Amino acid sequence: MSAPLLAERVRNMVPGYEEMFAERGGITPTDPLQFHLYHLARYWSRLLGFCRQTPSKPEGWIDGDLGACIQMGSEFAHPLITPDSPIYRLWQDYWTQTQSMLHQRPVTMDAIETASRAFDACTAGLKYDPWAPPQP
């Protein structure tokens, strides 16, 4: 997607996401990083599923709201992962793979799968399961 179009989609989504963040808890984690990873896991799952249904034209899904959701969630999480984080290098790889997938065309299923696996490596590196029920 072109950077201006993606930026506009993200900008339009930020207020709703910030509201969800402010009201976090219950079924969503209260920890800021876990909150963003929780949502990113769901966005990635949906994006992968839809792209696998149309593997010859995955950019249609990436250029839509799911791509913008992944960009937005990643942007919120990015400053929380500092150089002293145990997943800093993993996150840098994730960030690079994801930005490439979102902005470079053509995009392949391999690029999408690689970015998704990079995200999974980050949650595994934190020993965080975004699909597990929240702990009280």
pLDDT digits (tens, 9 = 90+) for 108-121: 999 999 999 999 99
Q: What percent of the chain has pLDDT above 70?
A: 97
pLDDT of the residue at 136: 63
Task: Sketch the domain layout of the chain as residue ranges.
Answer: 3-11+32-125
d(CA 116, CA 97): 9
d(CA 111, CA 115): 6
Q: With bands split at pLDDT 50, 70 and 90, how would you rate the model's confidence at 5?
A: confident
pLDDT of the residue at 2: 62
